[in-house]
Amino acid sequence: MLGCAGGRTVGRTAQPVPRPASPVPAASVDSLLATLTVRQRVGQVVVPWLSGSYTAFDDSLFQVAARWVDSLEVGGLIISVGSPLDIAAKLNALQRRSRLPLLVSADLEWGAGMRVVGATAFPQIMAVGATGDPRDAYTIGAAAAVEGRAVGIHVNFAPDADVNNNPANPIINVRSFGEDPRTVSRLVTEYVHGLHDHGMLATLKHFPGHGDTQIDSHIGLPLIPSGYARLDSIELVPFRAGIAAGADVVMSAHIAFPALTGSDEPGTLSAAVLTGLLRDSLRFPGLVVTDALTMGAIVAKYGAGETTVRAFLAGSDLLLMPADPDSAVAAMTTAVATGRITPQRLEQSVRRVLEIKRRLGLFQSRTVPLDSMMLVVGARRFQDQADDVAVRALTLVRDVGGRLHAVRAHRSRLALIAYADENNGGVGQTMAQLLRQGGDTVEYFRLWPMSGTLSYDSARAVIARAPGTVFAANVRPLSGRGTIALPDSLAALISATDSTRPTVVVSLGSPYLLNQAPGAKAYLVAWSGVRASERAVALALLGRVPITGHLPIRIPPAYPLGWGVVIPDAQP
């Protein structure tokens, strides 16, 4: 049996036992706060990670989550991938168990489909930079809010307010709206409005800016040597705009800024960054949340418990994904008991958390109905919006000799060589299906990161049987990988093929792949590997839609910000 601060006991087998809501009136945050012990207050600022997949109530994974709620009395959860019904049912069960309502968050950067299987998947948000239309940012935020709230999510850890001004950045890339601070600011503002107008909280990340890094903070500690003047004119511009738009949360970056802090400690653990810069200079009044505290940039150095204490002392209100929630609660409670964290400082953060929950109406209603979910999640109106954004985002960077024009003008036999990481086994299949439906004869072949000589020989055989080739590569930011690039063997295959036969290279992710195959004569960027983007590419290759996007970033050395070869009309 496990005892908890409130005197309740929790059995070894967790059951969906409903608990009454707090008897304290929802409007009286102060009176509610007064009823909480130090340990219960600490629990309110701890936010563990929860899988969204189905689990039975007596499954060990659900029992762990139930103990977080019952014994640690955590204040919130960050939910990961699962079906709408699985996520909602699990969250409802945990909400009913919890003494206080849980604040549920998720990364829904490009729509709820990023985490909720079957929900709408928009292109990555750099696609909005390519359309240049702030209404598209609003649309993604609005759809994420409606679908996310339907399954019980309250906080979107988006929009990404980073200015992606470093082409070698291995973790931001297409997650950013672009590299012009003013354009990013406009799009961040509209994304925040889209969320707010549909009942979801908005988060600006990764403060004070993760765009100019060459190290993935999931595996190491990036360092930005720039001083305040540079940050103020570039990185901080979208954060100021997002704060002015009313963003509710700011997420810290695990990045060192020695010119600001005088040390190599990451921003997440720096009072100079989170209190001095964010609170005092930018006057941000909302919740500050850490980036994941499991990330290699900090946890390996300080340990699970000490990392949480340092992040809280630096100015964070919510401690996201501690490596060990039990250690986090124990370390924080000890830090209060020893005077390292003052009761006033803890109360300040807990009050912010409770006030957010009150504003969301969670004290009155904390669960979601399951029977109406199919009317909302994945609805046709949202998918139509995603399709529309994906088409208008298509950006033609190069078409030397009219290679793409030729493919659009005549139906033909094509070799479609698709590439993506192992997590996207279906890459290119939607494209192939639609091209076949449109009249092309398509032979599809899939390459993987681990493909060897025999696979590449097979790809060459497929290429040899067709007069034209389309390479479709989904290379995207993946936490922990450390790079965003094509395998050298694939880059060589693209270059060799392009030199001997008509070839179109399509990027379903990073726009910078052209640097690995600089001789490619036709290069089309679709920004994302979601179904809507593959559909858009297929329609473009069939000549059925115009191509009107413009680069929201530079592709050195030849292609400037705003570049795009426009094909204004579809084929008759």
Summarize pLDDT for 372-382 with one digit per residue, the tens.
Answer: 999 999 999 99
Span 160-182, average pLDDT: 95
Summarize pLDDT for 195-243 with one digit per residue, the tens.
Answer: 999 999 999 999 999 998 877 666 677 888 888 999 999 999 999 999 9
**Cα–Cα distance, 416 to 398 (Å, whole number):** 19
| 109: Cβ contacts below 8 Å, ≥ 6 apart | 124, 125, 156, 157, 158, 159, 160, 175
Q: Please count the other Cβ atoms lying within 10 Å of the Cβ belonging to residue 506.
A: 27
Cα angle, residue 96 at apex, residues 87 and 109 outer, rounded to 5°: 35
Spatial CA neighbour of 508 closest among 385, 394, 382, 384: 394
Provide the pLDDT confidence category of residue 15 given band limits of 50, 70 and 90. very low
CA distances from 274 to 37, 77, 282, 320, 485 (A): 26, 22, 10, 15, 33
How far, in whole angstroms, is CA 242 from its chain's centroid?
Answer: 17
Summarize pLDDT for 320-344 with one digit per residue, the tens.
Answer: 999 999 999 999 999 999 999 999 9
Which residues form the catalytic set?
218, 291
Average pLDDT, the chain: 92
Checking if the pLDDT of 23 tops 70, the result is: no
The H-assigned helical ranges of 484-555 are: 488-498, 531-541
Domain 2-7+30-370: top CATH class: alpha beta
Q: Choose which CATH entry (3.40.50.150, 3.40.50.300, 1.10.260.40, 3.40.50.1700) describes domain 394-541.
A: 3.40.50.1700
Residue 385 tokens read as: 């919006």
| Per-position b or e across 296-305, b if 16+ CB within 10 A of its CB | bbbbeebebb
Q: What pairing do the DSSP bridges indicate for beta strands 76-79 and 103-106?
A: parallel
Summarize pLDDT for 426-467 with one digit per residue, the tens.
Answer: 899 999 999 999 999 999 999 999 999 999 999 999 999 999
Cα angle, residue 295 at apex, residues 293 and 296 outer, rounded to 5°: 130
Summarize pLDDT for 51-82 with one digit per residue, the tens.
Answer: 999 999 999 999 999 999 999 999 999 999 99
Single pTM value for the model? 0.93
Summarize pLDDT for 363-373 with one digit per residue, the tens.
Answer: 999 999 999 99
The residue extents of the domains of the chain are 2-7+30-370, 394-541
